[in-house]
């Protein structure tokens, strides 16, 4: 159920769970994307006369108040993006919360302090969830990116109050469904990043669902090693060779074409502008490390994207934070963006590094959908049920 099913909001106290876990430096927000993406829902509820009570976590304070994890420093950015004042409550439950909520008029917006200041949040404690619920007439979950956590404010509350998906939650679920559940085929997935060990479940789930799977980044080295290639000094989890082999075999059984790099940009030092050369993956010098895919691999990946109608992307293809080892990620991202803009591809991307990589390539806006989620996006790619989403579904 979405906001459309919530009935008149005039005068209603709406507990709106958002994800304000944004990067901060020196007390200032350095990337406001997550804030910007929840602004339309806050406005929609406030403009309908609802009293918006924002619930959110920040950092991992382990159930105790810790000033470094306060949500207060986010207030100026939130208020600026909303272009309206936002009140602050020093606690999310108890007297301080009740007082702040009681002071609200219709259409006002209030942010309550970090839900993780209470141990009951992460324990999904029923009593804590009831204390949160006391301040609301209904609950709207807008935090897809925290939906992999079965916490009181992401899961428990949905059982206590009339519960609805917010607009961003709806958009995320819609995009993910188009990405993997009922996609236009063929589907290609690009999975990069440093380690196979963090993405075994994800790769196993994807080979069963997609038609083509590009494996890049450091994790590709483990697969190349499993195929008997010498990857020199490259990052490589040799103990996972068998796992890599198992994934390759499963892919074959499921008719999923695996695309591994055929050539690579190698260097002797892990630093920007390190002296580098392109070699085939059969000829990686023993003292060199693979830091990006090579030109021939880029052409192969671009060609595969041309055959696909849906792309799901998680993880960079190389050490994109160091030039020129961003070349592969940037080239492929731009190619996918161009196909998307031409209406030939539905492209869905997610995960912390991925979004940074797409922005670095200047195409963050050109994909069909870029998720705000990190861990939740990964768990969805793994095929897991997300408790925050399931709790909403259970409500019908």
Would you say 351 is a known binding-site residue? Answer: yes
Q: Which range, of 23-31, 144-152, 203-211, 353-361, touches ligand 3PG by CB under 6 A? A: 144-152
| Site membership for ligand 3PG, residue 186 (CB under 6 A) | no
Which of residues 346 and 386 has its CB atom nearest to ligand 3PG in the complex? 386
Count of residues binding ligand 3PG (CB under 6 A)? 8
34 is catalytic: yes
352 is catalytic: yes
Q: Which range, of 143-151, 179-187, 274-282, 297-305, touches ligand 3PG by CB under 6 A? A: 143-151
Would you say 13 is a known binding-site residue? Answer: no
| Site membership for ligand 3PG, residue 375 (CB under 6 A) | yes
350 within 8 A of 202, measured Cβ to Cβ = no
Report the nearest approach of ligand 3PG to the CB of residue 37 (Å): 13
Q: 43, 130, 195, 384: which one is catalytic?
A: 195
Of 160, 186, 203, 140, nearest to 383 (Cα)?
A: 203
Q: Which residues contact 60 (CB under 8 A, 6 or more apart)?
A: 69, 116
Q: What is the 3 state secondary structure string of 292-332?
A: EECHHHHHHHHHHHHHCCEEEEECCCCCCCCCCCCHHHHHH
Q: Which range, of 67-75, 141-149, 301-309, 380-388, touches ligand 3PG by CB under 6 A? A: 141-149
Euclidean distance between CA atoms 331 and 319, whole angstroms = 14
| Site membership for ligand 3PG, residue 145 (CB under 6 A) | yes
Would you say 59 is a known binding-site residue? Answer: yes
- For 308, the token pair is 């696909």
Q: Which residues lie across from 2 on neighbouring strands? A: 165
- Looking only at the bridges linking them, the beta strands covering 346-349 and 310-314 are parallel
Tell which one of 2, 5, 11, 60 touches ligand 3PG (CB under 6 A): 60
Backbone angles phi, psi at 147, to 5 degrees: -75, -10
Q: At what angle do helices 167-176 and 387-394 cross, to 10 degrees?
A: 110
The residue nearest ligand 3PG at its CB is 21
Tell which one of 146, 171, 180, 266 touches ligand 3PG (CB under 6 A): 146
Residues marked as binding? 19-21, 34, 57-60, 116, 149, 199, 321, 351-354
Give catalytic residues, as residue numbers.
Answer: 34, 195, 352, 375
């Amino acid at each position: 159920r979405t906001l459309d099913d919530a009935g008149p909001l005039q005068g209603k106290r709406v507990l709106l769970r958002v994800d304000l876990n944004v990067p901060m430096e020196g007390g200032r927000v350095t990337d406001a994307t997550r804030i910007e993406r929840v602004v339309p829902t806050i406005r929609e509820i406030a403009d309908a006369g609802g009293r918006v009570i924002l619930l959110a976590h920040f950092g991992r304070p382990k159930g105790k108040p810790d000033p470094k994890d306060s949500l207060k420093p986010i207030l100026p950015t939130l208020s600026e993006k909303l272009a309206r004042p936002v009140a602050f409550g020093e606690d999310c439950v108890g007297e301080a919360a009740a007082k702040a909520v009681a002071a609200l008029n219709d259409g006002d917006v209030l942010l309550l302090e970090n839900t993780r200041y209470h141990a009951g949040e992460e324990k999904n404690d029923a009593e804590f969830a009831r204390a949160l619920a006391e301040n609301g007439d209904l609950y709207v979950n807008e935090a897809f990116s925290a939906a992999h956590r079965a916490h009181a404010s992401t899961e428990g509350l949905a059982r206590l109050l009339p519960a609805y998906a917010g607009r961003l939650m709806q958009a995320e679920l819609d995009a993910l469904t188009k990405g993997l559940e009922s996609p236009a085929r063929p589907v290609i997935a690009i999975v990069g990043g440093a380690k196979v060990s963090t993405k075994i479940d994800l790769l196993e789930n994807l080979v069963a669902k997609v038609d083509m799977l590009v494996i890049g980044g450091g994790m590709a080295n483990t697969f190349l090693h499993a195929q008997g290639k010498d990857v020199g000094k490259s990052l490589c989890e040799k103990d996972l060779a068998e796992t890599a082999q198992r994934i390759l075999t499963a892919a074959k059984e499921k008719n999923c074409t695996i695309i591994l790099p055929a050539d690579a940009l190698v260097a002797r030092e892990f630093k920007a502008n390190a002296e580098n050369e392109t070699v085939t993956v059969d000829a990686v010098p023993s003292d060199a490390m693979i830091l990006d895919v090579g030109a021939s691999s880029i052409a192969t990946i671009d060609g595969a994207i041309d055959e696909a109608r849906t792309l799901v992307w998680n993880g960079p293809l190389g050490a994109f934070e160091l030039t020129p080892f961003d070349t592969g990620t940037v080239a492929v991202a731009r190619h996918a963006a161009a196909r998307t803009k031409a209406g030939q591809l539905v492209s869905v991307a997610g995960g912390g590094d991925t979004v940074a990589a797409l922005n670095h390539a200047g195409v963050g806006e050109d994909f069909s959908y870029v998720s705000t989620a990190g861990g939740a996006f990964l768990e969805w790619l793994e095929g897991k049920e997300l408790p925050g989403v399931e709790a909403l579904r259970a409500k019908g």
